[in-house]
Amino acid sequence: MLVHGPIASLNWPPMTMKFLVKDKALWEKLAEGKQVEVEFTQEGKDYVVTKVK
């Protein structure tokens, strides 16, 4: 789960939601409580993380 702030381009309010991480290298950049900047794409009903900064 990721907690994110408002995303104006998608008309999303701040929320906590599920993202899929398919790439193991990206997964390793994530950790509980860590603040990250991510890029993601929509695949059907899922949101898939494509980049972690």
Q: Which residue is nearest to Cu ion (CB)?
A: 17
Output the smallest distance, CB 48 to Cu ion, in A. Answer: 13
CB of 7 or CB of 22, closer to Cu ion: 7
Q: Residue 5 to residues 11, 18, 21, 23, 24: CA-CA distances in angstroms?
A: 11, 14, 19, 23, 25
42 phi, psi to nearest 5 deg: -95, 130
Between 13 and 24, CB nearer to Cu ion? 13
Helix H or strand E encompassing 24: helix 24-27
Binding residues for Cu ion, per CB under 5 A? Answer: 12, 15, 17
Of 17 and 36, which CB lies nearer to Cu ion in the complex structure? 17
